[in-house]
Amino acid sequence: MKTKRILSALPLWLALLLFAVPVTSEAQFLKKLGQGLEKVNKGLEKVNKGLDKMKNGELPTLTPKSQKKQTETSTTAPTTSTAAPATATASTAAASTAPDRSKWKTVESTYPTPFISANTKYLRLPDLYDNTVGDVHEGVFSVKKNYRYEFWRVTGKRLYADEWEHPESSYNFFPYFNSGVCPMVSSKPAADGKKRWHLLYLDGSVKELDPTYKEITHFSDGLAIVKQTVNYKDQYFYINVRGEKAFPNLRLNGDADDAMRPLQDGLRAFREYKEWSQEFRTLYAWGYMDANGKVVIPATYMKATNFSEGYAWVVKTLGEPQLIDKTGKVVFAPGKYDYYSDVVNGKFYIQRSNSANLEYYDITGKKLAEFNNGMPFYDGYAFVEVDNSGDNNGVKLINNNCEIVRHFSFDDFVAYNLDRMKFSPLGTVVYSDMNDASIRNNKGDVLISVWDGEGYDRISGFRNFTADGYAVMTNIQMNNKRYQGIINTTAELEWLFSTEEYTKDWGDWPEDPEPEPRDSAGFNDPRMPKPVPPEDGPVGPKIRQKQKYNVTVKCEPAKGGSASISPAKVFEYGDMATLTAKANKNWAVSRVTSDAIGYEVPKIGETFAVTTDMTLTVHFLEKDTTETPQHTTALQGTRHKFIQNEDWSMDTEIYAEISEEPNISSPYGEKTYGFITAMVDPDKLLEMPEFTAHIFTAPLEVCGYQFDQQTNRRWMVLEGGAYAIGNLQVHPEGNGMMGLYFTALLALNNHTDFQILPRRYRLEMLDYNAETGEFTCGAMQTFSAEWGWLNSDDKRLAKKEKGFMMTATDNGLPGDLFQGAKLKVAPKRNDVHWYPSAKWYKEDQNALQQAIESLNKAYRSLETDYQKVFGE
């Protein structure tokens, strides 16, 4: 079969936008899509032969058994929105008679799932329980063997052998590195026959501690609490990563699970020993100190949370928490209540003792909303539960204004699971119920789902991602054998663990979407996991040598601003430092890079442990000079071959409405400079030889014009924009296979919610006519908060979740979306579609109204990365 290629932008970028499935071969895609389709399966081997790998610019495909089909009945739709109406023309070289669609299939949505690859490392263990493999922290994870621990670098080198114990180990306990150190007890007794505490370091060196140390907490931002017993008397104090006593002026009480607290907003909650207090009826109280051990807020509280966004909860009188700022001033005290959340995005919730509902407030004390249940905000969104009121599920997504912007079905969320869901440092949550499991972002989109194979074969059991970008899979069943694994953020299994001997039979496992080719002889299949010798290494232990480290900072470009490290000195291992940066006028900080490979890059304003030499570069972006449009007019032109393959193509009209003054009314606001859109009617069924579908596009808002005098290039600045395809049916065999390439990825059946993608674009204006404002559409560029303006095919545009790239959830609009359309002055139109039609929802007017409300809120509250970076 000759490979037919989708040549234009729409299918490719839309597929990447919605599900971002990696590019792979047509054969692999068909193998997966063909499950359950007998005719496809029978012809699979024939199709497999002679097909080229999909190349750049072609559509992504699914991998065999690496995607789990799921039907979404309400809203895991990608944040989409778009305009559309009018006419679209289609021509085809296929047979003129309408095809028989009685056997066509409605395609379900699919998601990335874990897979093995040439990078997968295989380690055999003596036993395998849920607490056998620890999470990855600072590039290292622990493995439990016969009640002792060994440590491995995630890159594949054993750091310490299984000769370490931890008295506090429990079913859910995993020792881990923090600030470059992990306290453990040697399983080998000293000369006196006693086992002693040691500090383990990332370079494989160790330090033996005082034998009177009986307990040590984990380290947090360079400190740990030690319990020392001398002459049967206990005392508590801090030690730093070198094992030295720190802040001896503090009389600590460390006899609590949460006594070791991290630095948050520059302050650390500490638990101080007190004489008996009749008021508190305890021997301790909580206060706050800074990174240098200076008490900033005295220890006078029964309870205290960590600071978040400059605020923390404290309790002086039982049952009456108060919200304080960093000076100790009370900013909110509503009386008695039982539960309260951290301040995130300037919002928090409380639950009163006499109420079952959660109340959301802002930091001024203004009540915003009340829900049955909910979670704290994360990056502008929160999950809540409302009274069902006839809906099939009470779980909703609210924005920063506490407005409902998304509705979920029982297939998405079950309300009682909200209490168990917590955000990771990367902004992900693990959702799990009796029927399904997935890793999702803060908007509820599925990022990685479980993999289901034949019979009982399954890859599931998610733990959440750590800040390192790795998550443990605790429940892998393959061929009646149990495994565990560690996945990265692309769902690739970087490690597999089992009690079984290494096997060369990996044919049933989901594979790398882009495997390296086999060698000419067909041996050494690069897709197979590689066994790691259990005796490999270890690097340590070795005697710790005192080392000095230098941390330097530079700015790029130098005129963008200033940056520094505090304190300015030569550091010893584990010393704490803070990176600060300030942008000059009309500049903004974009990102920080480091030349220390394999070490976490420090974040601006956050304290970090120095464990190696490093040069940090703070990058700045310059604010654009944007002018108002120079004409008040309506423009229109034809985008030829908007969608095409070898047998058919579709043209569509591009329409723009522009004003010199911000007086155009639209869903984006009452006073805008206008909009531009592809005029595709979402009410009209697009019928092609390989598929049928409705297409919905949301207009982009015109924000102004830019002119680069150095290059003599002119741009139209745009914001928003998104596309979606719904009600998709595809030809299950023959020349319908190419339709499967994108329709399988774009199915948004029965979605009830859409949102505008918050991107800023600029469309090059070629052959610009200064008198009329007419121009030819060139390529579009997309703004990146880290890199500035980039071409649309740049991989750096893949949307990140808190600094970490998922499989790819959003790559923005394609650069050639409007390219080639010659926009001429035209009559003003009144058929621009800002919303999908009832046909998308099987004439369900309630579902349509939900989508319209969701889109209206998205239009009005659009906030792009550009606006966030420059504070617009």
SS3 assignment, position 315: strand
How far is it, in rounded angstroms, from Cα 482 to Cα 500?
A: 8
Q: Which of 778, 774, 809, 814 has its CA nearest to residue 794? A: 814
Phi, psi for residue 88 in degrees, rounded to 5: -135, 135
Of 682, 690, 681, the residue nearest 729 (C-alpha):
690
What angle, 0 to 180 degrees and rounded to 10, lies between the N-to-C axes of helices 737-746 and 9-18?
Answer: 40
Collapsing DSSP to helix, strand or coil, 735 comes out as helix
Q: Which two structure tokens, joined as six digits, stand for 686?
A: 């697009």
DSSP 383: E
CA distance 653 to 656: 10
- Helix ranges (H only) for 348-474 are none
> Which single residue is written with the structure tokens 């009386």?
335
Distance CA(640)–CA(657), nearest Å, equals: 20
By CB atoms closer than 10 A (0-12, 13-18, 19+), residue 754 is buried
Residue-level pLDDT at 606:
87
pLDDT tens digits for range 587-602: 999 999 999 987 889 9
Alpha-carbon span 721 to 700, nearest angstrom: 5
Cα(836)–Cα(851) distance, integer angstroms: 8
> What phi and psi values does residue 425 have, to the nearest 5 degrees?
-60, -15
- How many CA atoms does the CB half-sphere of 135 hold within 13 Å? 18
10 Å CB burial of residue 293 (0-12, 13-18, 19+) is: middle
> Which pLDDT does position 282 carry in this prediction?
67
Q: What is the rounded distance in angstroms from the CA atom of residue 621 to the CA atom of residue 591? A: 9
DSSP class of residue 838 equals G
Give the type of residue at 154.
V
Instruction: Retrieve residue 746's tokens.
Output: 């774009």
pLDDT value for 86: 39
Query: How far is CA 663 from each of CA 499, 576, 628, 668, 673, rounded to the nearest angstrom?
Result: 69, 53, 12, 12, 7
CA distance 164 to 160: 8
- Cβ(728)–Cβ(692) below 8 Å: yes
Q: How many CB atoms lie within 10 A of CB 454?
A: 9
Nearest alpha-carbon partner for 804 in 381, 527, 424, 456 = 424
Beta strands in 454-550 (DSSP E): 458-462, 470-478, 481-488, 493-498, 530-531, 542-543, 548-549
Q: Which segments of the chain have a pLDDT < 70?
A: 1-99, 105-110, 169-172, 276-282, 319, 388-393, 434-435, 513-527, 534-535, 645-647, 731-755, 798-811
For the record, the structure tokens of 855 come out as: 């889109």
Backbone angles phi, psi at 592, to 5 degrees: -125, 135
Dihedral angle, C-alpha 122, 126, 127, 130, nearest 10 °: -50
At 106, list the tokens: 């409605």
Q: What is the pLDDT of residue 726?
A: 75
User: Which residues fall within 8 angstroms of residue 88, CB to CB, at 6 or more apart?
Assistant: 642, 650, 651, 652, 653, 679, 680, 681, 684, 686
User: Side-chain half-sphere of 526: how many Cα atoms within 13 Å?
Assistant: 11
pTM of the model: 0.79
First-last CA distance in the chain: 53
DSSP state of 311: B
436 CB-near residues (< 8 Å, 6+ apart): 70, 411, 449, 450
**Phi, psi angles (nearest 5°) of residue 561:** 165, -160
Say which DSSP state 380 is in.
T
The pLDDT tens digits for 496-543 are 999 999 988 888 899 876 666 655 544 455 568 889 876 677 888 887
Other beta carbons within 10 Å of 868: 12
Distance CA 132, CA 147 (A): 9
